[in-house]
C-alpha cells in the first residue's frame, strides 16, 4: 500500500498537480527562486527589494502558431500554449533546465534554461530558450513570448534606450511602449509604435536606492521589449516571430535573454552589453582611438600614388606622430570576390593583374586608373614602404559579399542579389553572395586565413567594405532558405575572432553606413550594426555629416571612421566630422577628386595640416547624443 501511494505521489508531481520545492540560487545579496514548472517566482535581496512583480504577469514561456496565410498578430488566448508542464526537469548548480513537449498542437519541444550567475561583478539572470521541431520542416510562423515580470518596484521608471539614430533617450515606461531590435524575423506587433533600438538593450532605473535593471537579448534575431510595471499591472515580455512560412524551421532555434542587476548610470548598462552578449568579441586594439588621419588609396595613378602620398606625408609629419596616420591600400587584388585567393589550393596567387578592366572604365568615372601587374613581393614592398616610415597600414579585405562572373563562383544557389559595384576590378556581371550558404560562409573564412598567413604579421588593420549590403530582414530564397542577415552577423563575428586569435594587434573593421543619406533627409533605416561584432567601422559614407550618429552605439567602445572620396571639394564634411564626432581626417586618391596628399595645392595642404594639428592630440571616444544631431551650416 505504501509503495502504491509513493508511485501515485510521484505521478502527481510529474503531472504538475503537486509541486516540488522551488529551486533557490544565490548571488551576493540576491536570491533567485525558480518553481518546478520553470517559472521564476522570486528575485529579491536581503534588504527586501523584490524584483519579480506578480501583479505584472509571470516568467513562463508561451508559444503560438500563426494560421497559414495570416500575418503574425497578438495571438488569442486559446491559441497560446503556456510552457508550464515540463516533461523533463534538470536542477543545476546555478539554475535549472526545463523541457516541454507541445505536440500535437505545436510540433515543437521547448527547452528553457535558467541560470543565475555573476558577470563583471553583476548578478545576471540568463534565460536560454531553444525550439526543437519534432516533425521538420515546420512551415508556419511561430510566435515566441518570454514572460518577463522582473522589474523595479514603484510607479515611476526611467528607461534608457540606445536609439538607432544615436540618441540615448531617457523615457518613462508608459503603456503601449515597445522597443524593438531589428534583424531576422519580426517583433510581435503590440499597441503603440515600435521604437527602434541600435542594440538589443533597454535599461531601467527608479532611483531611491533601487538597482538598475538592464534587459538584453542576443543580437542574432529581432526582439521586442515590453517592460513590466506592477503599478499598472502591465505585463513584461521579450518577443519575436520566426517566419516559418518563408524560412521553414528545420533545426533547433535558440534565443538568449539576460537581465542584469547593477548600479550606476547607463554607461554600466553598455559595459554589461559588452561583458555578456558580446563576451566572445574582443575590443579593438587601443591604437585605433589615437588615429588622427586616414588616407584611402584606390591603387591610384598606375599604383604610383601610394608611394607618392607616403613620401609627401613623410616630409610633413614628424616620425613620432606617424603611428597616428593610417594608409589604406584598396584595389590591390585581381577582381571582386576572388581577391587573388585560389579556393581549391587554399592560398593566395603569387602574381596577378589588378584593375584588369581599367581601360574599359576610363570614360565611366575612372580616368586615371591603369592595369597594374602585381605580385606577393610587390604587396609586401608596398606595406613595408609605409611601415618602415612609421605609418600604419590597413588593407582592403573585400567589397562586402560582391563577386563577379570572372571569379567563377556564380552558382545560382550562392547568389543572393544580382548587381553590385562595377569598376575596374569587376570582370563580368556583379552579384551579391548569400552569407547563409555554407560554401560562401566558408569561402570568406578560408580567404581570411590565407590572407593573414601571408600578410597578417605586417599590417595593422583590414577593412571589409560595404557590409551594409545585407539589410535587416533579408531572406535567402531557393533551396537554402535562411535568414541571411543573421548569417552575416555571425560571419562578421567569426572573421573578427579569427583576426583576434591569429593577430591580436590587428584590427578588423567593417563598413555599415547605417543611416546613410544622399539628400540629408532620407536615411537607410534598415542596416544592422554589424560593426558591434568587429573592431570598429571604417565606412564608405564619404564623411556625409548626417550619417555619423547612426553608427554610435554599434561602435561605442571602438571607433567610427569614413573615407572621403571628395576630400578636397568636400573638406567641409571632414571638418564637421572631426569637430562633432572626433573622427580622423580623411584624404584619398584614385577616385572622384582623385587628388592625394602629394597633389594638394599649397592652400589645400595648409587646410588639412591645420585640421591635423587640432586633431592629433585627441582620442576618439564615442558618446551618444542627448538631443538632436548637430547640423552642418549651409
228 plus 315 within the same structural domain: no
Element of type H or E holding 358: helix 358-361
**Per the structure block, which three cell numbers stand in for 191?**
499597441
**Per the structure block, which three cell numbers stand in for 378?**
610587390
- Confidence label for 17 from pLDDT (cuts 50, 70 and 90): very low
297 plus 398 within the same structural domain: yes
**Per-residue CA distances from 606 to 316, 599, 610, 611 (Å):** 11, 13, 6, 9
What is the SS3 assignment for 562?
strand
Full domain range(s) for residue 522? 286-615
| Structural domain ending residue among the three candidates 275, 307, 337 | 275
Residue 576 above 50 pLDDT? yes
Strand-pair partners of 354: 372
The pLDDT score that the predictor gives to residue 11 is 37
214 plus 350 within the same structural domain: no
> For residues 139 and 144, what is the distance between their CA atoms, to the nearest angstrom?
15
Is residue 9 one of the residues assigned to a domain? Answer: no
Residue 27 above 80 pLDDT? yes
The pLDDT score that the predictor gives to residue 12 is 33
126 plus 244 within the same structural domain: yes
Q: Return the CATH number at 220.
A: 2.70.98
Residue 431 above 70 pLDDT? yes
The single-letter DSSP state of residue 121 is: T
63 plus 136 within the same structural domain: yes
Is residue 280 one of the residues assigned to a domain? Answer: no
pLDDT tens-digit map of 523-533: 999 999 999 99
What is the SS3 assignment for 445?
helix
pLDDT tens-digit map of 224-268: 999 998 888 889 999 999 999 999 999 999 999 999 999 999 999
Q: Would you say 564 and 587 are in contact if contact means Cβ atoms under 8 Å apart?
A: yes
The pLDDT score that the predictor gives to residue 567 is 98
Q: Please state, rounded to an integer, the average pLDDT across all residues of the chain.
A: 94
Residue 305 above 60 pLDDT? yes
232 plus 316 within the same structural domain: no
Strand-pair partners of 413: none
Q: Return the CATH number at 582.
A: 3.20.20.80
Strands 178-181 and 194-196, bridge-based pairing: parallel
187 plus 309 within the same structural domain: no
Is residue 5 one of the residues assigned to a domain? Answer: no
Q: Would you say 98 and 253 are in contact if contact means Cβ atoms under 8 Å apart?
A: no
Closest listed residue to residue 450, CA positions, set 533, 346, 540, 538 = 346
* Class of residue 2 by CB neighbours under 10 A (exposed 0-12, middle 13-18, buried 19+): exposed
The mean pLDDT value for 386-405 works out to 98
Is residue 33 one of the residues assigned to a domain? Answer: yes
247 plus 330 within the same structural domain: no
pLDDT tens-digit map of 310-368: 999 999 999 999 999 999 999 999 999 999 999 999 999 999 999 999 999 999 999 99
Is residue 2 one of the residues assigned to a domain? Answer: no
Residue 152 above 50 pLDDT? yes
449 plus 570 within the same structural domain: yes
The mean pLDDT value for 564-575 works out to 98
Is residue 4 one of the residues assigned to a domain? Answer: no
Q: What is the pTM of this model?
A: 0.96
State how many domains the chain has: 2
pLDDT tens-digit map of 498-547: 999 999 999 999 999 999 998 888 899 999 999 999 999 999 999 999 99
525 plus 561 within the same structural domain: yes
72 plus 206 within the same structural domain: yes
Number of neighbouring beta carbons within 10 Å of residue 283: 13
- Confidence label for 19 from pLDDT (cuts 50, 70 and 90): low
Is residue 407 one of the residues assigned to a domain? Answer: yes
More confident residue, 588 or 77: 588
212 plus 303 within the same structural domain: no
Is residue 3 one of the residues assigned to a domain? Answer: no
- Confidence label for 375 from pLDDT (cuts 50, 70 and 90): very high
Closest listed residue to residue 141, CA positions, set 92, 108, 113, 182 = 108
Amino acid at each position: 500500500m505504501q509503495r502504491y501511494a509513493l508511485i501515485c505521489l510521484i505521478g502527481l508531481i510529474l503531472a504538475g498537480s503537486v509541486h516540488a520545492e522551488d529551486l533557490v540560487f544565490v548571488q551576493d545579496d540576491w536570491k533567485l527562486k525558480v518553481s518546478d514548472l520553470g517559472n521564476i517566482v522570486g528575485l529579491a535581496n536581503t534588504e527586501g527589494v523584490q524584483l519579480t512583480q506578480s501583479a505584472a504577469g509571470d516568467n513562463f514561456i508561451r508559444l503560438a502558431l500563426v494560421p497559414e496565410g495570416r500575418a503574425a498578430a497578438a495571438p488569442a488566448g486559446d491559441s497560446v500554449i503556456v510552457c508550464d508542464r515540463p516533461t523533463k526537469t534538470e536542477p543545476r548548480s546555478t539554475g535549472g533546465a526545463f523541457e516541454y513537449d507541445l505536440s500535437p498542437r505545436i510540433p515543437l519541444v521547448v527547452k528553457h534554461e535558467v541560470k543565475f550567475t555573476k558577470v563583471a561583478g553583476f548578478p545576471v539572470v540568463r534565460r536560454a530558450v531553444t525550439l526543437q521541431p519534432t516533425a521538420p520542416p515546420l512551415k508556419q510562423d511561430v510566435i515566441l513570448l518570454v514572460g518577463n515580470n522582473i522589474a523595479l518596484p514603484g510607479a515611476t521608471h526611467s528607461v534608457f534606450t540606445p536609439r538607432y539614430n544615436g540618441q540615448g533617450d531617457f523615457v518613462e515606461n508608459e503603456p503601449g511602449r515597445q522597443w524593438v531590435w531589428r534583424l531576422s524575423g519580426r517583433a510581435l506587433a503590440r499597441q503603440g509604435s515600435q521604437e527602434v533600438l541600435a542594440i538589443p538593450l533597454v535599461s531601467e532605473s527608479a532611483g531611491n536606492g533601487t538597482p538598475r535593471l538592464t534587459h538584453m537579448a542576443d543580437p542574432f534575431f529581432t526582439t521586442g521589449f515590453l517592460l513590466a510595471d506592477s503599478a499598472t499591472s502591465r505585463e513584461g515580455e521579450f518577443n519575436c516571430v520566426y517566419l516559418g512560412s518563408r524560412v521553414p524551421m528545420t533545426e533547433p532555434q535558440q534565443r538568449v535573454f539576460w537581465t542584469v542587476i547593477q548600479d550606476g548610470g547607463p554607461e554600466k548598462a553598455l559595459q554589461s552589453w559588452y561583458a555578456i552578449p558580446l563576451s566572445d568579441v574582443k575590443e579593438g586594439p587601443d591604437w585605433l582611438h589615437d588615429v588622427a588621419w586616414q588616407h584611402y588609396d584606390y591603387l591610384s595613378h598606375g599604383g604610383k600614388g601610394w608611394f607618392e602620398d607616403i613620401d609627401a606625408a613623410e616630409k610633413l609629419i614628424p616620425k613620432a606622430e606617424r603611428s597616428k596616420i593610417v594608409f589604406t591600400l584598396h584595389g590591390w587584388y585581381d577582381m571582386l570576390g576572388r581577391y587573388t585567393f585560389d579556393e581549391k589550393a587554399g592560398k593566395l596567387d603569387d602574381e596577378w593583374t589588378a584593375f584588369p578592366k581599367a581601360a574599359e572604365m576610363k570614360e565611366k568615372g575612372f580616368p586615371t586608373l591603369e592595369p597594374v601587374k602585381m605580385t606577393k613581393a610587390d604587396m609586401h614592398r608596398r606595406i613595408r614602404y609605409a611601415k618602415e616610415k612609421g605609418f600604419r597600414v590597413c588593407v582592403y579585405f573585400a567589397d562586402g559579399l560582391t563577386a563577379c562572373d570572372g571569379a567563377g563562383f556564380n552558382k545560382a544557389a550562392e547568389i543572393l542579389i544580382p548587381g553590385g559595384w562595377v569598376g575596374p576590378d569587376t570582370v563580368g556581371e556583379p552579384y551579391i553572395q548569400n552569407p547563409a550558404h555554407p560554401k560562401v560562409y566558408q569561402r570568406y573564412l578560408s580567404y581570411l586565413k590565407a590572407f593573414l598567413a601571408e600578410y597578417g604579421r605586417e599590417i595593422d588593420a583590414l577593412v571589409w567594405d560595404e557590409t551594409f549590403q545585407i539589410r535587416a530582414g533579408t531572406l535567402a530564397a531557393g533551396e537554402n532558405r535562411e535568414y541571411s542577415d543573421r548569417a552575416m552577423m555571425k560571419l562578421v563575428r567569426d572573421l573578427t575572432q579569427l583576426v583576434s586569435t591569429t593577430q591580436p594587434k590587428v584590427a578588423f573593421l567593417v563598413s555599415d553606413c547605417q543611416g546613410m543619406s544622399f539628400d540629408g533627409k532620407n536615411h537607410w533605416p534598415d542596416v544592422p550594426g554589424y560593426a558591434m561584432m568587429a573592431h570598429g567601422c571604417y565606412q564608405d559614407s564619404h564623411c556625409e555629416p548626417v550619417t555619423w550618429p547612426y553608427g554610435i552605439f554599434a561602435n561605442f567602445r571602438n571607433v567610427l571612421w569614413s573615407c572621403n572620396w571628395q576630400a578636397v571639394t568636400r573638406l567641409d564634411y571632414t571638418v564637421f566630422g572631426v569637430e562633432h564626432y572626433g573622427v580622423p581626417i580623411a584624404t584619398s586618391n584614385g577616385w572622384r577628386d582623385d587628388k592625394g596628399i602629394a597633389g594638394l595645392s599649397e592652400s589645400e595642404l595648409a587646410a588639412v595640416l591645420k585640421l591635423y594639428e587640432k586633431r592629433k592630440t585627441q582620442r576618439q571616444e564615442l558618446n551618444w547624443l542627448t538631443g538632436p544631431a548637430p547640423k552642418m551650416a549651409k
